Amino acid sequence: MPDWGWLFFAYLSGSVATAIILYKSIAMRTIETTIDNLIDNGFLRYKRDREGNIEIMKWNSNEDIVNESNN
């Protein structure tokens, strides 16, 4: 039976390299999706500026709040 250790090492090395390369991208996508879902479901207060950027507000802020689901 041939020695398959080199194949296992190559597979493991490729998997680790891929995880390192994609970690930041996966983390950012997960965070963006979570924040978007919290905003869509009304759990986060926010306001949108004239340029379309969203600013997350403090929970006890008295500023005007935009809730696009109510418009």
Residues 27-57 pLDDT 10s:
999 999 999 898 888 888 888 889 988 888 8
What does the angle CA 24 – CA 52 – CA 63 come to, to the nearest 5 degrees? 105
The partner residues of 46 in beta bridges, in order of sequence, read: 56
Domain of residue 31: give its range. Answer: 5-44
State the pLDDT at residue 1: 47
Chain mean position to CA 27: 5
15 in a structural domain: yes
Domain-embedded: residue 25:
yes
Whether residue 59 is contained in a domain is answered as no
For 52-71, what is each residue's pLDDT tens digit? 888 888 877 666 655 555 44
State how far Cα 14 lies from the chain centre: 24
Q: Tell me how far apart the alpha carbons of residues 30 and 18 are, in angstroms, rounded to a whole number.
A: 17
Residue 64 falls inside a structural domain? no
Number of domains in the chain: 1
pLDDT in tens, 12-25: 999 999 999 999 89
In this structure, is residue 9 part of a structural domain?
yes
- The identity of residue 37, as a single letter, is N
At residue 60, what is the residue type?
Answer: N
Does residue 60 fall inside a structural domain? Answer: no
